Every structure is written in structure tokens, then in C-alpha cells.
Chain A
Amino acid sequence: MKIESAIAANRFGLGARPGDLEKIERQQPQTWLLDQIQGPARLPTDISDLPTSASVFRKVDEVRREDRDQYGKTVREYYIEQAHARYRAAATSDYPFHERLVHFWSNHFAVSADKQPMPAVAGLFEAEAIRPNVSGKFVDLLLAVEQHPAMILYLDNQRSVGPDSTLGKRASRASSSRNIGLNENLAREILELHTLGVNGGYTQQDVTTFAKVITGWSVGGAGENGRFAEGEPGTFEFRQVIHQPGKQEILGRQYSQSGMAQGEAVLHDLALHPATAKHLASKLVRHFVADEPPAELVDQLAAAYLKSGGELSAMYTALIAAPQSWSSAFAKYKTPHDFVISTFRAFDYVPDEARFLIGALDLMGQTPYRPGSPAGWPDTAEQWGGADALYKRIEWCNTVARFVGSQANPVELGDAVLGAAFQTQTRTAIGRAESSIQGMTLLLAAPDFQRR
């Protein structure tokens, strides 16, 4: 068994299920990955069975207005349903590389479920804005994200009002201007996190101007005090009355479009900006190759992306072709998310109890859809490598091993899911374990299983 098969399954994929390594070996690891870029022809049923975010926004809003006591429960139920669907799909996917890309971009464009009503829609945001767009042009992903109601609400853009818009001028005449004006949160995070990156060369002036450009990017439906009631509830709504009119200049470029087209033109330019190419490439290389992304590989990916006119698949293909991608089976320390999914896959186990998996991730510090900030979860061993965090993993390994009992032989399982990456000392330690439960704990907690 080749080490490349283990790398493809465990670093690029979400962890091998028993039998996967043989299949990868037959298809050749690189081909196996390339074949997954476009994803399955049909959505996993776990995902296609989910409700639409518009219907959930409407429902949650209705409960908030009419049945306030039930609000928390309603939101929680949606959250559990969506988190469960995500991890079921991940545990069973035959396209684990594609699935990892969905998770990667969902984290790049994080809407953290600690601000209401994000818990009710974070998974739907992933299903609607991210999942269909991970292998096309980046600009399509970017537009889908920035025009999704979840992102707009998460970063407060729905009521950001252009000072010279119809409503802005009326409010300043009425001298109630304190309640009405710009909010630069979404504009800043688009530049800093979603596109150019923090060293991407923009200024505070660019942030403020961009905030003006995207005024009016809002969400339909009843707002507070009946304001902003127009539009299809829970869907993207462009509101001309709060949009700042006029030409704008961002990063030295003039934008003379009017209305929504102006913001879309800016996003098109941002998507193809060399700083964006570099930012995206370095995040991908960090995720798939090394905590310290090799500069030449980042440059290769960025160049491939720009040459292709902004195709995400150009970066994935360059990544798969790069020799640096295949140099170690232990290049990355798994995040709790990686660890939990790869454990489920190793046991070919589909969690039927959502609380079990959400609780496990919560305990290990990576509650689903809740990174706590728009920057998403970190992606290096340094940031996940707390002493207590390792101890929690060991406790969970032990809990899982007790749960699985002696239904599986840990040495055989190590061979099946780690293949050529299964280390001699781990095999020896398991062989000397006092019980198969203890052996299973050692397998799951071993450095070879904890890394990818």
C-alpha cells in the first residue's frame, strides 16, 4: 500500500473508511482526488432534505414575534438538524475531498452561530451559498456569499444606510441621524478576510467607501418598527432607498455603476486581484500542505488561479500536482472537526444521535458552525495544540473506545485506515494493550491518527 493513498484519504479527504485505501490505490491517489473536484452529480440526501434558509428565517421571525418563549427551542432544533446533516454527510461521503472543500470555504466565509439567528441558518448558508460554488469561479462563490441573508445579517449590513441616500438625507433633515448611517462591518471583513487579506493594500478610506457601495444590500421582510418591511422575507433584497448614490473610488479604481451593479463590479475586481489570489492560495496551502505554507507553492497556486481567470479548480489541480503535497503523511495536526469525522469514518459509523457529535465537538473546542468570529477556525497545530485540548481528545478517544467495545480489532483497523502511515510503535503499543478498548484508545490518540 502506497503512502500516497493514505495521504489522499486522510489529508485531502476526511479520513479513510475501511476499504477506501484499496479503492484509492486502484484508481491512483491523484486521479481519485481530481475526479472529486466537481462533486457528486446529486446532492447528498442529508443536504437536499434540509429546508430553505428563507423558510427558516420566516419561521424563526414568526416565532420571535408570536411565541417568544419558543424562540430558543426553535433555533436550537434547526441548528441540531443542520449540524447533524453536515456530519452525517461527511461521515458517509464518497466524495470526501469535495466535502472537505465545502467545509474549508464555509470556514473561510464563516457566519458564527453565536449571534442570533445564525444558529438556525449557518448550515443552510453552507448548503446554499458555499456547496454549489466550491469548484467554479471564485467570484460566483463570493457573490453567493455576500448576497446571502445570513452573511448580511451576521455582519450587520441590512441596515447600513448611505448618508446621501433617500432615507439618509430624510433622516439627517429630521435630525434623528444617530440611528441611521453606515456600518462598515461587512465591507471590512470582505476586504480583510474574504478577498484581499489583511495586508492586501487597502486603506480605511477603501473600507468606508466600500461600505457605502454596498449600502442597500439587505434582507427582505419585516424589520424592527415595520421599517424595511418590503421584499420577499428572508431573501436577499436590494434597497435603493438606503443605497448611497454616485461614483466611488476603491483601490484606485472608479466605479460609476449605479445600484447593486456597483457593488458587484467591485466584487468582480476583488476576486481577480493578485492579493486575493495570494490570500486564497496561502489559506489552501496551509490547509492542505503545511502550517507554514511554502512560498513557491503559494505563488504557483496564485498564478494558476489568475491565469485561469479566477477558477478555483485551477488551484486545486495545482495543489494535487505539487510534489510538496505528497511529502509527508503527518503534515497537519487534525482539528477536532477533522478528528471526529475521521473517527466516524474509521468505524464506518453514522451518528444517529446529533447531541453525541455536537457535544463531542463542543467539548474539544470546535462547536459546529461556531468559530466565534468571522475569521473562522484557525488552521495550525500551534493554535489547536493546547495541553488541555489534547487531554480532551484522549478522554474522547477513551469514551469512543468504550462505546465501540471489542467490536473491532484496533490493529486491523489501524491497517485499514492508516495503511502505510500506520507506525510501528503504535502497532506495538496496541499489541501490548491490556484490552481491546485500551488498544482502541491508543490507536485513536496515536500521533499517526491525530495527524493527517
Chain B
Amino acid sequence: MLTRRDILSTAAAGAFISAVPSIAFARAETDARLVLVILRGAADGLAIAAPYGDGNYAQVRGELALPPPGSSDGLLKLDGMFGLHPALSGVYDEYQQGRATIVHAIASPYRERSHFDGQDVLENGAAATGLLRDGWLNRALAPLGGTLGTETAIAMAQNTPLILRGDNSVTSWAPSQLPDADDSTLRRLESLYADDEFFATRLAQAIKSQDIAAGQGGMQDMRSRGNDAQQALTMMQAAAKFLTTDDGPRIAVIEAGGWDTHANQGAANGALANRLGGLDAGLTALRQGLGDTWSRTVVAVVTEFGRTVHVNGTRGTDHGTATAAMLLGGALDGGRVVTDWPGLRNSDLYEGRDLRATSDTRSLFKGLLAEHLELPSAFLERNVFPDSSSAAAMRGLIKT
């Protein structure tokens, strides 16, 4: 059986070169930053960016419809058709500066309604469930360099989510409240783990992250306690520190839960509005933490699928299909809503209930990897998103 190390060394020896143009290795380093924020639980795209200009919107959304731009608690006007949820004022500031883009009516190729399978497909980059055991963002790391101790990507969590799991070395970090183990104990554990690759690799990765966190100062004091919004804020701030460290990671994944609004979802105020407000504060903290680096950054905020167009019997929404994705960052050619709007009439809806998908999350991810991280198309098609020819890369998202 090939071990991870074997795969890394064969990759370094050029095993991919037959499959990939040599440019794959010309760009061993990237100065671009990419942050993936995964909203777990199926966030409601019709609330994130509401199509107030669609003549059917107010009627189909009923009590969950958001007031049009200009009214009290009204939507923040994106264009003549869409408005951003009023809780997303930080995102809106960036949008007005051309540093945010909304992609609407987007979904992964998954067309059932299980959160867990939906998240798998979003993260493994396959055309259907169960086809790939590793994550697309991990596969994309191969040409970017970075090995044990100098990982290109970090999961802002104790455990690595599927999107970053795979053969390429990645690290993870989350705040702690316990005293550090002393160096002598860690050295002995390294030696005790030497013959056990599972433990050896993870300890090496963790020690590196601890070094970065300690070197930045202050991060050791971050507390994992507090409500979800505070935790998200902490993670965003920490991510900014990792991403601005000289030999630190360039790619970060942050997860945020609590989007499964089956009951009492609320409109301009209420449960979902509070979640969005927390997310907005976190994204603002990330932008501030990145400082000048923001100009080279793209943050993609995505979720596994959307929610039903109609309100259910408990003032919420059930599992749906297409949703909205938010992109932020100075590298974007933003200030626009990218969509082929499918409409909200009953006959427009997928299976008579969901927003129909007119774009594919793989197209979005391919576009970002190609234009922002400058990964070659052939590599993306073959290695990162196999069987995705139906989902052409979304072009023109990044400033040239």
C-alpha cells in the first residue's frame, strides 16, 4: 500500500507531469489567499440574497419575505433584482467597493436532500455521493507545494473536514484552555509515534500550528467558549493570523453550523438574521485581520444546498436545492450578482418546491482555483473535479 509520504514523494518526482502541463509545478508557491467558509445545515439563499425584483417573491415567501430596499429593515440593494439581507451590512460595504460577488441559484450536483450526503458532495467534488473519499481542496494542493511542517492549507477546527482530507499534508488548529504539554514530553511522543504514521503525521502538523500560533502571540489565550457567533469570530481572527504568517498556510477552511431553519426562521429579525449577523461580524473581522493581504484574498461562503421556496407549516423552510454563495475579497472583480435566474413561479421550481439550480458549485470552485490560485485547467478537470465537464469553470470572477 502506498503511504502518504510515498505519494508525496512520487508527486514531487513528477508523476503527474504526464497528466498535467508542466506549468503545474512552475507555480509552486502562491501569494494568493483562499478561505472557504462552509455553512453547515443548508443556509437559505433566498434570505441571504432575496430576489425582491421577482414579481413572485413576496407572495411565495409569505411571512419570510424581506421588505424591499428603502423600507425599514429593508434589503440592501445589490441591483434591480436582488437585495442582501439587512444583517449582512459588512458584506454590503465590500460589495459597494467591488470586493464582493453574489452567485445565485447555485447548487452542487447533488439532487437529494440529505444534509450529510449534500455536504459530502460539496466537499469531495464528485458528481455524486460516495464516489471520492478525499476532498477537492486537498487534491488541489498537489501543485502548490507544502509538505509536513509547511502545509499550504489549514482547517480552523480540531478535526479536518472532508474538503481538506486526503493525501496532501494539511494541518488544523483550534483554541485550547489546557496547559501545553512540555517540550520534553512532546519530543518523547514524537519518538514513540515514529513507527505509527497516523500519529506521527498528526503530531508533526499540530506542533507546527502551535508554533505559528505561539509566534503570533495572543492566540493561546483565545477561548473556545462563548456562543457560536463568538466562536466564529475567534476562528476568523485566528485564520487571519495564520494566513498572514510568512511561512504559514495560504488556504483556510472555516465551518459554521446552525443554518437548518426548519422552524421560526424569522425574516429581517429573528433566528436566521442573528446567524447572518454573526457571520457578517466574523467576515469583517477576517478582512480586518488580513489587512493588506485582503487585496490578494478571496473568501467563498458556501452551503450544501438551499431551502424550500415556500414557507413550511412551522414558519421555517425545509431542505431544498439551489441557494446563494457569497464571495468576498480584494482579488475579486466584484460588485455584481452572477446568476441565470430561474424564477419563482411554481412551474419554475425544481420538483415544484425548490429554487432550480442554474449553476454548479464545481464551476465556481474551478473558476476560483483557475483564476485566483492559477492552477491549470487540465489538472482541475482531471485531478480535482473528475467527471465535471458539464460544469465549466466560471470565468471572470477575479480581477485581471
Chain A interface residues (CB < 8 Å from chain B): 114, 155-156, 159-161, 178-185, 188, 192, 198-199, 204, 207, 333, 359, 362-365, 372-373, 375, 381-392, 394-399, 425-426, 429, 432-434, 438, 441-442, 445-447, 450
Contacts and interface: CB of A to CB of B under 8 A. Distances in A.
Nearest to B318: A184
A204 B320 CA distance: 11
Contact of B179 (A386, A398, A432): A398
Q: Helix, strand, loop or mixed for chain A's interface?
A: helix
Given A114-B258, A188-B319, 12 more contacts: A160-B314, A178-B315, A359-B177, A363-B176, A381-B198, A385-B160, A388-B206, A389-B172, A394-B186, A395-B179, A399-B179, A429-B191
B204 to A, nearest CB: 8
B180 A395 contact: yes
B205 interface: yes
14 contacts: A156-B262, A156-B316, A178-B63, A179-B315, A182-B312, A183-B263, A183-B313, A375-B116, A386-B155, A387-B206, A388-B157, A389-B202, A394-B185, A398-B182
A392 B157 CA distance: 11
Given A183-B262, A426-B192, A447-B196, A390 B115 contact: no
B1 to A, nearest CB: 13
Contacts, number: 171
Contact of B192 (A159, A199, A364, A446): A446
B181 A395 contact: yes
A386 B224 contact: no
A442 to B, nearest CB: 6
The 5 closest A-B pairs by CB, nearest first: A181-B313, A386-B159, A387-B205, A391-B206, A389-B158
Contacts of A207: 113
Interface string B108-120: 0000111111000
Contacts of B260: 373
Nearest to A155: B262
B199 A183 contact: no
Given A159-B314, A179-B63, A375-B116, A386 B177 contact: no
B248 to A, nearest CB: 14
Nearest to B181: A398
Q: Which of A114, A185, A365, A383 has the most CB of B within 10 A?
A: A185
Nearest to B352: A204
Nearest to A383: B159
B351 interface: yes
Contacts of B203: 387, 390-391, 394
Nearest to B260: A373
B196 A159 contact: no
Contacts of B117: 198
A333 B313 CA distance: 43
B99 interface: no
Given A382-B165, A385-B159, A198 B116 contact: yes
A198 B117 CA distance: 8
B314 A388 contact: no
B158 A156 contact: no
Nearest to A191: B114
A388 B173 contact: yes
Given A204-B113, A333-B198, A386-B202, A392 B158 contact: yes
Contact of B318 (A185, A389, A434): A185
A184 B318 CA distance: 7
B200 to A, nearest CB: 10
A72 B139 CA distance: 44
B164 to A, nearest CB: 10
A388 B313 contact: no
Contacts of A396: 178
B264 to A, nearest CB: 9
A332 B237 CA distance: 35
Given A426-B192, A433-B188, A363 B178 contact: yes
A381 B115 CA distance: 21
A183 B206 contact: no
A174 B198 CA distance: 63
Given A385-B160, A390-B199, A395 B316 contact: no
B174 interface: yes
B189 interface: yes
B209 A387 contact: yes
Contacts of A180: 313
A308 to B, nearest CB: 29
B244 interface: no
B193 interface: yes
A225 B270 CA distance: 18
B311 A178 contact: yes
B195 interface: yes
A392 B178 CA distance: 8
Nearest to A178: B62
B206 A447 contact: no
B184 interface: yes
B259 to A, nearest CB: 11
Contacts of A433: 188
A394 B205 CA distance: 14
A364 B224 CA distance: 11
A188 B112 CA distance: 11
A13 B155 CA distance: 33
Contacts of A179: 63, 313, 315
Given A333-B198, A398-B179, A445 B189 contact: yes
Contacts of A359: 177
Given A375-B116, A384-B159, A395-B178, A390 B195 contact: no
B199 A373 contact: no
Contact of A372 (B188, B210, B257, B318): B257
Contacts of B313: 159-161, 179-183
Given A178-B62, A372-B257, A394 B181 contact: yes
A395 B176 contact: yes
Nearest to A401: B185
Contacts of A394: 181, 185-186, 189, 203
Nearest to A171: B313
B323 interface: no
A148 B349 CA distance: 35
